Structure 1
């Protein structure tokens, strides 16, 4: 089961979520308005917001 801490407004289509798995949690980001527009990485390897600035 995927858990999400994201609130989506009416005009927002990009969401992120943590998908818990046995081997390692995965961070998934997706544009829910476009089929196949998503990416996944290990949650512990995902960049933080401060590192992206």
Structure 2
């Protein structure tokens, strides 16, 4: 199966698609934020340093 020019939802893949996840590195949870439409467009930080959604609002 070949990849098409559109995502599953039908949005064009040239638009930024920002996602976040908590991943574990060296036994420590880290928040990772990435634009999955662009190579090497991500950042991470210790999860303990991240602001909760309710604090951010």
Shorter-chain TM-score bucket reads 0.5 to 0.7
Unmatched runs of 5 consecutive residues or more in structure 1:
1-8
Counterpart position of 1:30: 34
Q: Deviation per CA, 1:21-49: give whole Å up to 9, x if none.
A: 23421110101011221110001111111
Unmatched runs of 5 consecutive residues or more in structure 2:
1-7
Q: How many residues align?
A: 45
Could you tell me the TM-score, scaled by structure 2's length? Answer: 0.61
After TM superposition, where is structure 1 displaced by more than 6 Å over at least 4 residues in a row? none
Counterpart position of 2:55: 51
Could you tell me the TM-score, scaled by structure 1's length? Answer: 0.64
**Larger Rg computed on CA atoms:** 2
